[in-house]
Chain A
């Protein structure tokens, strides 16, 4: 069983479209995250949710809107896609990160905006 699963794995779309990426974790964790990995492999946090409540929003454009219907799911909706949004988006979860608890990552969604 996949611990953190994202869909789709690949997403190619035109500029200006709206798209969503879904994420589910079956680990019973309270906290979920979205990270963005750019073309140079640099990883940066976008959002963090704890028990469906937003706790981190790292100066991400408001075209990006996370939604957490329950603590096992954290979806990412992107409006008016731009070329610069092309990246790999990783979902992750953890019980919490305090004290060095491990974060578990999904396989990533490669978004290409053309």
Chain B
């Protein structure tokens, strides 16, 4: 079945550090890929997405590129801020399906 695997957390970085959160997926066909973010006490919000191979999603300084050959969608940011502290979820929707399949989430803490 469809699945998403993210790097184990928690991840703790200093402000202005470079961030990578790895995400790989298993799905048939060409799924759409997403990163959602959950700030403390809130619901999930879409951070960025990519719907086909080699697409790059970007938002708020975060980027991720849909790599079909490695079935990956790694999240990156060049310089993190304290306000980026949250739980980040990688997710996919298989073609024709009507449900998001989430990875286990990665808790990110940024220290000033």
Is B a genuine binding partner of A? yes
Q: Which one of B11-19, B45-53, B74-82 is at the A interface?
A: B45-53
CA distance A77 to B96 in the complex (A): 28
Tell me the dominant secondary structure on chain B's binding face.
strand
Query: Which residue of A has the minimal Cβ distance to B50?
Result: A100
Q: Which one of A14-22, A67-75, A79-87, A101-109 is at the B interface?
A: A101-109
CA distance A23 to B105 in the complex (A): 24
CA distance A90 to B87 in the complex (A): 15
CB distance from B71 to the nearest CB of A (A): 17
Interfacial chain A residues near B43, Cβ < 8 Å: 4, 90, 92, 105-108
Check A27 for interface membership: any CB of B closer than 8 A: no
Interfacial chain A residues near B44, Cβ < 8 Å: 43, 90, 92, 103, 105
Q: Which of B47-72 contact A (CB under 8 A)?
A: 49-51
Query: Which residue of B has the minimal Cβ distance to A4?
Result: B43
Interface centre among A33, A103, A107 (most CB of B within 10 A): A103
Partner of B98, one of A48, A100, A107: A48
A102 touching B100 in the complex, CB below 8 Å, given contacts A41-B107, A43-B105, A97-B93: no
Please give the residue numbers on chain A whose beta carbons come within 8 Å of chain B beta carbons, in ascending order: 4, 31, 33, 40-45, 48, 50, 55-56, 58, 90, 92, 96-100, 102-103, 105-108
Please give the residue numbers on chain B whose beta carbons come within 8 Å of chain A beta carbons, in ascending order: 32, 34, 36, 38, 41-46, 49-51, 87, 89, 93, 95-102, 104-105, 107
Further contacts, 12 of them, CB under 8 A, given A43-B105, A105-B44: A4-B43, A40-B104, A41-B107, A43-B44, A58-B99, A90-B44, A100-B49, A100-B51, A102-B49, A107-B42, A108-B42, A108-B43
